[in-house]
């Protein structure tokens, strides 16, 4: 009887460990998906797209000639844009996760 009780307890612990492993796998897959999306966005942001973005942005404030644009500035603008979009997406995902937890578990009293 004691052996059977220990077996049940071991099965429960094994189930908890599997559940934790599945949760970590889901988090890892989400992170890998986010990295892949950031890399894809970086590939889509080629030099003409960055130049059009800068023309639109700077055209709102003043008339700055952009034609002899160094590659370093284009790279910096592209990096800032991709990181900014990534942070926005991460913030939205975190906010939605927090909201989902509140809806699922109810509001604390």
pTM confidence score: 0.57
Mean pLDDT of all residues in 56-73: 70
Q: Which pLDDT belongs to residue 109? A: 46
Q: Where are the domains of the chain?
A: 1-44, 46-109
Q: What is the CA radius of gyration of the chain?
A: 24
DSSP states along 13-27 = HHHHHHHHHHHHHHH
Residue 9, phi-psi category: left (phi > 0), alpha (psi -120 to 50), beta (remainder)? alpha
Q: In 3-state terms, what secondary structure has residue 9?
A: helix
pLDDT above 90 for 15: yes
Q: Which structure tokens are listed for 72?
A: 């370093």
69 contacts 51 by C-beta, under 8 angstroms: yes
């Amino acid at each position: 009887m004691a052996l059977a009780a220990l077996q049940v307890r071991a099965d429960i612990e094994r189930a908890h460990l599997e559940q934790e492993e599945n949760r970590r796998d889901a988090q890892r897959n989400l992170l890998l998906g986010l990295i892949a999306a950031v890399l894809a966005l970086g590939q889509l942001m080629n030099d003409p797209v960055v130049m059009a973005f800068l023309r639109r942005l700077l055209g709102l404030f003043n008339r700055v000639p952009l034609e002899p644009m160094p590659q370093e500035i284009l790279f910096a603008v592209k990096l800032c844009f991709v990181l900014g979009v990534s942070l926005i997406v991460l913030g939205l995902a975190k906010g939605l996760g927090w909201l989902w937890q509140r809806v699922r578990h109810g509001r604390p009293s």
